[in-house]
Amino acid sequence: MAYLTACEKNKIRADRLKYNIEKQGISKVNVLVEDARNLSSYFSFDKILLDSPCSGSGTIYIPDDKLEKKFTNELVQRCVKTQTQLLKKAIELLKPHHEMLYSTCSILQEENENQVKKILETQKVELIPIEKSLFAEIPLLPTSIEGTICIAPTELYEGFFIAKCLKKE
């Protein structure tokens, strides 16, 4: 049996998440209206899915006339800062020899591969390669880290990135 803890700092989004969980008949889920960066170090987790806030570059509709105002370098840099903090906290709370999946709906290297490279450099985690054959029918973008996946945005798919890591000792 699994117990899930979900963190969502936005109350409206947390309430929507609770509603969807209940609608699906799922029990044993605790939704915290909390910024995960502020979780107590008393928490520890067997597995973590860090679906990190990002620029959304993999979901952008190009003809959007407000794109230049919404999608800025400042947005990307703010996201990178948040992602770095969330990754640090996730590694802290992940039990040794357990896995974390890092994902964004971005296709930008600074939000994806660069973030993974930073955490690999800490020597606390190692990459678990994701088998590309699992995505044989899905268009992929090249990544600078073998074993990570970046889905290309198309008319059928939004773009996103995933990397799987194992916490060492």
| Strand ranges, E, within 34-158 | 45-51, 94-104, 125-128, 149-151
Say if residue 146 is in the same domain as residue 69. yes
Q: What is the Cα 30 distance to its own chain's centre?
A: 19
Confidence bin at 66 (pLDDT 50/70/90):
low
- Report the DSSP pairing between strands 149-151 and 160-167: antiparallel
What integer pLDDT is reported at residue 1 of this predicted model? Answer: 72
CA dihedral angle for residue 110, residue 112, residue 118, residue 121, rounded to 10 degrees? -140
pTM of the model: 0.91
**Domain total of the chain:** 2
Say if residue 94 is in the same domain as residue 161. yes
Mean pLDDT of 135-163: 94
Confidence bin at 123 (pLDDT 50/70/90):
confident
Say if residue 76 is in the same domain as residue 105. yes
Say if residue 21 is in the same domain as residue 79. no
Q: Any idea which residue has 């296709």 for tokens?
A: 107
Annotated active-site residue in 7, 105, 150, 165: 105
For residue 8, the enclosing domain spans 1-34
**Mean pLDDT score of the chain, rounded to an integer?**
92
Q: Is the pLDDT of residue 77 over 70?
A: yes
Say if residue 59 is in the same domain as residue 1. no
Say if residue 162 is in the same domain as residue 135. yes
CA dihedral angle for residue 133, residue 139, residue 144, residue 148, rounded to 10 degrees? -40
Say if residue 71 is in the same domain as residue 29. no
Express as a percent the part of the chain with pLDDT over 70: 95
Q: Is the pLDDT of residue 62 over 70?
A: no
Say if residue 91 is in the same domain as residue 66. yes
Mean pLDDT of 88-115: 96
Q: Report d(CA 127, CA 94) in Å as an integer.
A: 15
Neighbours of 122 (CB within 10 A): 11
What integer pLDDT is reported at residue 63 of this predicted model? Answer: 64
Q: Any idea which residue has 């699994």 for tokens?
A: 2
What six digits make up the tokens of 37?
A: 């960066």
Say if residue 6 is in the same domain as residue 46. no
- Tell me whether residue 165 is one of the annotated catalytic residues: no
Say if residue 54 is in the same domain as residue 24. no
Question: In terms of Cα–Cα distance, which of 166, 17, 11 is closest to 91?
Answer: 166
What integer pLDDT is reported at residue 83 of this predicted model? Answer: 97
Q: Is the pLDDT of residue 40 over 80?
A: yes
Q: Is the pLDDT of residue 122 over 90?
A: no
Q: Is the pLDDT of residue 90 over 90?
A: yes
Say if residue 103 is in the same domain as residue 70. yes
Say if residue 52 is in the same domain as residue 79. yes
**CATH at 62:** 3.40.50.150
Q: Is the pLDDT of residue 169 over 70?
A: yes
